[in-house]
């Protein structure tokens, strides 16, 4: 027998009156029921998060982890030098927020004074401060019209040329502000900026390099730590290539930078020197190829021969 009793209720979501079929009905429609369910799940998640983070403090910043590390490193470096009276070239570069090359240019141009001793260059903090005492009036540089970017790499082209993963490409592009555009759902990266980045990192044209060192190879041969290796290859700009997660460095360039004589070069050098006439010589003032008993400071008998020019 059909129940003709009308049950009037108020929807708990939209607050509108409706006729319910059961006493347990809470919502006027399936849509209101679904919205209420989602809202309850969201409240539960927020409550759970609040319980997990109770008493904890979080610093929300709009920079990535790599940038945060650089800022922290520069901050620590500044704290160490801010009260020093005499600074090295590297410390001066940190203080002025410029590169070492710029500091050397200041020294060469006479803008900064320095004291050199035992291979060290020291700059007085007072001389750095005096740069700003009589500074010339600033002249704004004329705005240069930017040339439009017309050459691009696809992701596949970058992966093939530099042997890197797709996720790594997006990460590098994001951290180094490499221009990117989208066309037909595909990403294209500025060819000029990609080439410049990889060239700075030593990933240049490596097609003619046949022998490579892994990090383990270098550690075993030269007994260097990983940090020492990375610092050395960056300073000497050793060519490198990436294969999956591993980085390899040019064997020839690394050995030459470390002062290691390549065996075939050594044999050629010995053969060349063996052909010298030890008793028909001109004194080598560098002291490399003089006969036994002859020093770079000895007097050359040919110095007494008068020279009258070419008549």
Q: pLDDT value at position 97?
A: 84
For the domain covering 65-130, report its CATH number: 1.10.10
Q: pLDDT band for 303, please (50, 70, 90 cuts).
A: low
Could you report the per-residue pLDDT of 8-24, keeping only the tens digit for each? Answer: 888 888 888 888 888 88
Asked if pLDDT for residue 310 goes beyond 50, the answer is no
Asked if pLDDT for residue 207 goes beyond 70, the answer is no
Q: pLDDT value at position 215?
A: 86
Cα–Cα distance for residue pair 267/198, rounded to 1 Å: 36
Mean pLDDT lowest among 56-65, 113-122, 185-194:
56-65
How far the first Cα of the chain sits from its last, in Å, is 140
Q: Name which of 20, 2, 3 is nearest 11 in CA terms.
A: 20
pTM across the whole model: 0.32
Mean pLDDT lowest among 149-163, 165-179, 268-282:
268-282
Asked if pLDDT for residue 86 goes beyond 80, the answer is yes
Written in H, E and C, the secondary structure of 202-218 is CCCCCCCCCCEECHHHH
Buried b / exposed e over 66-87, threshold 16 CB at 10 Å, is eeeeeeeeeeeeeeeeeeeeeb
Contacts of 180 (CB under 8 A, 6+ apart): 173, 187, 188, 189, 190
Asked if pLDDT for residue 226 goes beyond 50, the answer is yes
């Amino acid at each position: 027998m059909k129940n003709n009793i009308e049950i009037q209720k108020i929807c708990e979501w939209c607050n509108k009156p409706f006729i319910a079929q059961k006493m347990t009905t809470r919502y006027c429609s399936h849509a209101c029921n679904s919205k209420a369910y989602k809202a309850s799940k969201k409240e539960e998640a927020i409550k759970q998060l609040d319980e997990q983070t109770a008493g904890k403090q979080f610093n929300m910043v709009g920079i990535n982890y790599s940038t945060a590390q650089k800022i922290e490193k520069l901050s620590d470096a500044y704290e160490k030098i801010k009260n020093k009276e005499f600074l090295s070239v590297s410390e001066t570069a940190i203080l002025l927020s410029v590169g070492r090359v710029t500091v050397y240019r200041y020294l060469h141009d006479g803008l900064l004074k320095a004291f050199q001793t035992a291979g060290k260059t020291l700059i007085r903090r007072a001389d750095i401060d005096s740069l700003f005492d009589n500074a010339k009036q600033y002249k704004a540089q004329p705005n240069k019209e930017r040339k439009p970017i017309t050459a691009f790499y696809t992701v596949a082209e970058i992966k093939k040329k530099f042997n890197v993963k797709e996720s790594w490409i997006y990460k590098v592009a994001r951290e180094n502000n490499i221009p990117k555009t989208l066309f037909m759902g595909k990403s294209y990266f500025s060819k000029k900026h990609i080439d410049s980045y990889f060239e700075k990192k030593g990933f240049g044209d490596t097609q003619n390099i046949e022998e490579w060192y892994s990090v383990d190879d270098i550690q075993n041969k030269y007994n260097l730590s990983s940090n020492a290796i990375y610092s050395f290859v960056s300073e000497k700009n050793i060519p490198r290539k990436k294969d999956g997660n591993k980085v390899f460095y040019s064997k020839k360039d690394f050995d030459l930078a470390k002062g290691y004589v390549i065996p075939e070069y050594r044999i050629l050098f010995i053969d060349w020197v063996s052909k010298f006439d030890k008793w028909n010589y001109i004194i080598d003032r560098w002291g490399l190829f003089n006969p036994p008993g002859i020093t770079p400071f000895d007097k050359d008998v040919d110095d007494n021969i008068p020279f009258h020019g070419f008549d």
